[in-house]
Amino acid sequence: MSEKKILLLGSGYVAAPAAEYIVRRPENKLTIASRRLENAEALAKQFPGSTAVSCDITNQQAIEDLVAQHDLVISLIPYIYHADVIKAAVKHKKNVVTTSYVSPAMMEYDQAAKDAGIIVMNEIGLDPGIDHLYAVRTIEEVHREGGKMNEFISFCGGLPAPENSNNPFGYKFSWSARGVLLALKNTARYLENGKVVEVSGPALMDSARTLNTGYPGYAFVAYGNRDSTPYDKRYNIPEASTIIRGTIRYDGFPQFVKALVSLGFLDDQEQPHLLASAAEISWKDVVAKAAGTTDTTPEGLEAAIIAKAELANHPRKAAILDGMKWLGFFSDVKVTRRGNLLDTLCATLEEKMQYEEGERDMVFLQHRFEIELKDGTKQTRTSTLVEYGKVGGYSAMAKTVGVPCGIAVQLILDGKITQTGVIAPMTSEINEPIIELLEKEGIGMVEKIL
* CA 202 from centroid of its chain's CA atoms: 20
Q: What is the CA radius of gyration of the chain?
A: 24
Buried b (16+ CB within 10 A) or exposed e, 44-55: beebeebebbeb
Q: Look at the alpha carbons of 212, 213, 216, 220 in this order and tell me if their dihedral is positive or negative.
A: negative
**DSSP letter, residue 333:** P
Gap between the Cα atoms of 406 and 74, Å rounded: 9
Q: Are 217 and 211 in contact (CB under 8 A)?
A: no
Gap between the Cα atoms of 17 and 223, Å rounded: 29
- Where do the DSSP E strands lie in 10-168? 28-34, 51-54, 72-75, 95-98, 119-121, 148-160
56 is catalytic: no
Gap between the Cα atoms of 223 and 47, Å rounded: 40
Catalytic residue among 110, 115, 127, 332: 127
Instruction: Give the list of residues 6+ apart from residue 66 with CB closer than 8 angstroms, or none.
Output: 7, 9, 31, 33, 53, 55, 73
Gap between the Cα atoms of 253 and 108, Å rounded: 38
Q: How many CB atoms lie within 10 A of CB 331?
A: 14
Q: Which residues are catalytic?
A: 127
